[in-house]
């Protein structure tokens, strides 16, 4: 689905944000501030959220469908209402790195909209996705009329940058094994759902996608998952992941001996 599908605008249609969205929901840091886990729409007041979404039109994407293409000219931003996506970037040698996961309440494509540059990454649906597409001119015009929404976007950008810097610094001194354990802990923190058996990672990721997030091969990830299953730290299925012993992952991520 490309920008050609956007002709005709949104014509006043409004969309409610996810049920857990909105200021004061308890999402964020213990001190009451926001962090990178809080999506854009959840940072807005209800009236601003509805007015912004009314500028666009709703689109639907099947699993593995590309929402935005790296290097393509930018004509719109997307607000995700339902479903998870992956954000990837490809190097000249063909290597694809998993940069982030974006889900309900998140905005994607905003950097290209604000800078006028081609898109820096590809966004692909991991499952059925619903999103609202808002054309650039409408989006930037709305920001100009709404300082509160502009500041919310600035705060989100700052939180994402800080999280990315923290991760790069952390990963720089780690082995692949340590990076992988840290990634699983991060997925549990960001996307985990607590069950009787452990922490279920709700985002469906393949072994190749996990490998692209830590700079490893698919075969290496398979070996690491086998080790973690043997140690009863995780349980895996087809695109499913259950973390049963986060303490084991923490020890690996800190490069401590398993018996410590």
Q: Which domains does the chain have, with CATH numbers?
A: 3-170 (2.60.120.10), 175-253 (1.10.10.10)
Q: Give the pLDDT confidence score for residue 2 in this predicted structure.
A: 37
Compute the average pLDDT of residues 119-134: 95
Checking if the pLDDT of 16 tops 80, the result is no
* CB atoms closer than 10 angstroms to residue 146: 18
Whole-angstrom distance, CA of residue 211 vs CA of residue 79:
27
Where does the pLDDT of residue 19 fall: very low under 50, low under 70, confident under 90, or very high at 90 and above? very low
96, burial (CB in 10 Å: exposed 0-12, middle 13-18, buried 19+) = middle
Judged against a pLDDT cut of 80, whether residue 24 lies above it is answered with no
pLDDT higher at 37 or 189: 189
Question: What whole-number distance in Å separates Cα of residue 22 and Cα of residue 227?
Answer: 41
Q: Could you tell me what percent of the chain has a pLDDT over 90?
A: 56
When pLDDT is averaged across residues 10-38 and rounded to a whole number, the result is 40
Residue 45 has pLDDT above 90, yes or no: yes
Contact between 64 and 125 under an 8 Å Cβ cutoff? The reply is: yes
What pLDDT does residue 156 have?
93
- At 258, is the pLDDT very low, low, confident or very high (cuts 50, 70, 90)? very low
pLDDT confidence of residue 256: 56
Q: What is the mean pLDDT of residues 28-42?
A: 61
* pTM for the structure as a whole: 0.77
Token pair belonging to 179: 């990076």
* Structure confidence at residue 3 (pLDDT): 36
């Amino acid at each position: 689905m490309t920008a050609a599908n956007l002709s005709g605008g949104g014509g006043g249609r409004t969309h409610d944000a996810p049920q857990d969205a909105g200021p004061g929901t308890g999402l964020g840091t213990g001190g009451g501030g926001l962090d990178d886990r809080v999506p854009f729409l959840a940072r807005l007041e209800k009236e601003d959220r509805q007015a912004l979404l009314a500028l666009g039109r709703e689109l639907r994407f099947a699993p593995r469908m590309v929402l935005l293409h790296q290097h393509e000219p930018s004509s719109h931003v997307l607000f995700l209402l339902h479903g998870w996506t992956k954000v990837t970037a490809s190097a000249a040698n063909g290597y694809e790195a998993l940069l982030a996961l974006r889900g309900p309440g998140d905005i994607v494509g905003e950097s290209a909209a604000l800078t006028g540059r081609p898109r820096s990454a590809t966004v692909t649906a991991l499952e059925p996705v619903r999103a609202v597409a808002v054309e650039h001119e409408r989006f930037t015009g709305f920001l100009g009329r709404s300082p509160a929404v502009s500041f919310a976007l600035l705060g989100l950008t700052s939180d994402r940058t800080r999280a990315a810097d923290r991760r790069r610094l952390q990963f720089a001194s780690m082995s692949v094994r340590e990076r992988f354990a840290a990634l699983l802990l991060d997925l549990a923190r960001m996307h985990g759902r607590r069950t009787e058996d452990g922490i279920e990672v709700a985002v469906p990721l393949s072994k190749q996608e996990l490998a692209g997030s830590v700079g490893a091969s698919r075969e290496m990830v398979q070996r690491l998952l086998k080790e973690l299953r043997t140690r009863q730290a995780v349980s895996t299925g087809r695109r499913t992941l259950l973390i049963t012993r986060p303490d084991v992952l923490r020890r690996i991520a800190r490069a401590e001996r398993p018996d410590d």
